[in-house]
Structure 1
Amino acid sequence: MSQRLAMFADPMIAVLLVATLAGFLLPASGGAREPAQLITSLAIFVLFLVNGMRVARAEIVTGFVKWHFFVPLLLFVFGAMALMGLGFARLAAAVLPPMVAIGFLYLGTLPSTIQSAISYTTLAEGNVALSVIGAALINIVGVFVTAPIFAALGGGAMAQIGSDAIIRIGLILILPFAIGQAVQGWTRQWVIERKAKIVWLDRIVIGIAVYVAFSGAVEQGLLSMFGAAEWSALLGLVLAFLLVAKLAAWIASATLGFALPDRKAFLFAASQKSVAIGAPLAAILFAPEIAGFVIAPLLLYHLLQLIIAAPLASLLALQQD
């Protein structure tokens, strides 16, 4: 019971709430905006440097060996979920501001969240090894493909996707990750031994990115644009997107003929979306006055997936082959 309750006490929820409230109450605007953006970029660089150190190269190699599981997983995450995001973006455009509606497309193109996927697969008594490798592989691929897929499906007009954005992604995301991979032979054990402390690096960097994003949105009038009806519509659409994603992933895993433990791993690796990639990438792709609107669906999705996934995983643990 204590393990299940712990799922509801994820510190990331508190970090996101504090960062969002700080953006609303004390936005980094005017002369503070440029230093805040610089701090965000530096923090994201450090985060992806550490990510490169801790993702074992052997996990990437294993992804190619077990292609019958990982290829469908990648196609679901970056294909089916992206198309779902496009559909929900069009639905949202009828009731929400365009900058928020496009956030559903952005949400659909993002990779899975590693820690969440692994935790809930473990709780559901699924194939944890597949979940670990699958979530890690998806996140690596996501760094390279999320922005191009988002642009191809029609979001490029809102994001700053051009040569400058490609250079920023290369310098702030890919370069530090590559450096981390290159030096992980000397640093990975050091990172693993400090896992409990380093996980707070993830949370702090995400919090900074969310704070800066919402600061820009508040400066552009987010509070005056959104009333109770708009917030209700956003919540309802995000909840529907999450439920459709879960159901589609479960049906897809059954159609593919996976064993029950593998289906559980597929479910959580395919449908848990990553704010750890989404918030930093949004800070690179979108202008500060746009980013806060775009990540609003992602933040709600992240919160709801934590609330729903824990009882779902507990129910799945009762199912055995």
Structure 2
Amino acid sequence: MSLRRFLPDNFTLCLIATVITASVLPCRGNAAHAFEWLTNLAIALLFFLHGAKLSREAVVAGITHWRLHLVVLTSTFVLFPVLGVLLKPVLSPLVTPALYVGILFLCTLPSTVQSSIAFTSIARGNVPAAVCSASASSLIGIVVTPLLTGLVVQTQGQGGMSWHSVGDIVLQLFVPFVAGQIAQRWIGGWVQRHRPLIGLVDQGSILLVVYTAFSAAVLQGLWKQLPLPVLGGLLVVNAILLAAALLITRYGARALGFKREDEITIVFCGSKKSLASGVPMANVLFPAHALGMIVLPLMLFHQMQLMTCAVLARRYARRKDVTQRYTSSNEVATAE
């Protein structure tokens, strides 16, 4: 097995470089205000472009497989928050209270879109259903994630989410997304032809949020509050959550009688969390000085899910090849 599969991608390396830069050269004063304004603008542009890109036809075409979509959405918005709350007595001693708020926030996020579809395709699963489920999760998450965050964080005694935060979500995320959907008939084709532009805005907005978040956190003494044993504990917590989600979605899909192609879609769409949606939402929902601790669990979970799912997708694909060869051999033997 090639070691290249386990190496971080270029974007992850950029994230690491951004954290290092913020640790050494944190922005402050007027520069911090300028970065905050630029970040908000980039996030609004990001959700506008996603609204212009998301095909309503693809969602309508795939929505007929309602049982699969219901399982994926249940895993994303019910299973994960329940795991985060129920496992808190066991997992919270491994990290700081602030980091566990980040874990709870991670549990409320929607699934990824691009990587869920890509891994489903590699594993030879139900790609049209993956497109529909991942897109629906991303869209529903704009509304559901802030509400779940307020509910889960508040019930854990960490404070709730104000109506002002809800208004900020609507203004900064939902309104640009709806504007993009409205503008789709005029600019949708152009956006599809320039998909790298969305990737650039996507990654650029995340890097901006990470830089401003970690700058504020470093000025508040982030690294003094985060010794290596706590960072190791955070890796363990993320690994437990990811393993639990993968196992439950896999065996749950089989128990519910889904075909192998649908099982693959459920596993890859129902076990992932979106860095692209999570970082902008955290920027709106939480104060600047707390953002570093909030997004750190998500950043680590993002890389862990990519590496783990890359291995799983290839294993699914190899099993598919073996099954097809075995079936073909039996057909030949029967014919003879």
Q: Please indicate, yes or no, whether the TM-score normalized by the shorter chain is above 0.5.
A: yes
Q: Residues of 2 paired with 1:56 and 1:303: CA distance?
A: 28
1:81-92 aligned at under 5 Å gives the runs: 81-92=80-91
**Is the CA contact 1:102–1:155 (under 8 Å) kept in the aligned structure 2?**
no
1:72-111 aligned at under 5 Å gives the runs: 72-111=71-110
Which residue in 1 is equivalent to 2:24?
25
Q: Residues of 2 paired with 1:155 and 1:204: CA distance?
A: 31
Aligned residue identity for 1:132 = V
Aligned residue identity for 1:147 = P
Give the unaligned 5+ runs of structure 1: none
Please report how far the alpha carbon of residue 11 of structure 1 lies from its aligned counterpart in structure 2 after TM superposition.
2.9
Please report how far the alpha carbon of residue 187 of structure 1 lies from its aligned counterpart in structure 2 after TM superposition.
0.8
Q: 1:49 to 1:148 in 2, by over 3 A?
A: same
State the SS of the aligned residue for 1:110.
Answer: coil
- Superposition RMSD in Å: 2.0
State the SS of the aligned residue for 1:222.
Answer: coil
Q: 1:23 to 1:119 in 2, by over 3 A?
A: same
1:1-321 aligned at under 5 Å gives the runs: 5=4, 8=7, 10-155=9-154, 158=158, 161-320=161-320
TM-score (norm 1): 0.93
Question: For this pair of structures, how many residues does the alignment match?
Answer: 320
Aligned residue identity for 2:113 = I
Please report how far the alpha carbon of residue 107 of structure 1 lies from its aligned counterpart in structure 2 after TM superposition.
0.8
Please report how far the alpha carbon of residue 31 of structure 1 lies from its aligned counterpart in structure 2 after TM superposition.
3.3
Considering only CA atoms, is the larger Rg found in Structure 1 or Structure 2?
A: 2
**Is the CA contact 2:153–2:159 (under 8 Å) kept in the aligned structure 1?**
no
Q: 1:84 to 1:22 in 2, by over 3 A?
A: same
Please report how far the alpha carbon of residue 40 of structure 1 lies from its aligned counterpart in structure 2 after TM superposition.
1.1
**Is the CA contact 1:107–1:273 (under 8 Å) kept in the aligned structure 2?**
yes
Please report how far the alpha carbon of residue 224 of structure 1 lies from its aligned counterpart in structure 2 after TM superposition.
0.6
Q: Residues of 1 paired with 2:152 and 2:89: CA distance?
A: 12
TM-score (norm 2): 0.89
Please report how far the alpha carbon of residue 85 of structure 1 lies from its aligned counterpart in structure 2 after TM superposition.
2.0
Percent identical: 31
**Does 87-96 or 128-137 show the bigger shift?**
87-96
State the SS of the aligned residue for 1:145.
Answer: helix
Please report how far the alpha carbon of residue 7 of structure 1 lies from its aligned counterpart in structure 2 after TM superposition.
8.4
Q: 1:90 to 1:184 in 2, by over 3 A?
A: farther
Give the unaligned 5+ runs of structure 2: 324-336
**Does 60-69 or 72-81 show the bigger shift?**
60-69
Please report how far the alpha carbon of residue 56 of structure 1 lies from its aligned counterpart in structure 2 after TM superposition.
0.7
Q: Residues of 2 paired with 1:158 and 1:208: CA distance?
A: 26
**Is the CA contact 1:88–1:104 (under 8 Å) kept in the aligned structure 2?**
no
Q: Residues of 1 paired with 2:154 and 2:309: CA distance?
A: 29
**Does 125-134 or 79-88 show the bigger shift?**
79-88
Deviations 1:100-121 (A, max 9, x none): 1111111111011111111111
**Is the CA contact 2:124–2:317 (under 8 Å) kept in the aligned structure 1?**
yes
**Is the CA contact 1:159–1:285 (under 8 Å) kept in the aligned structure 2?**
no
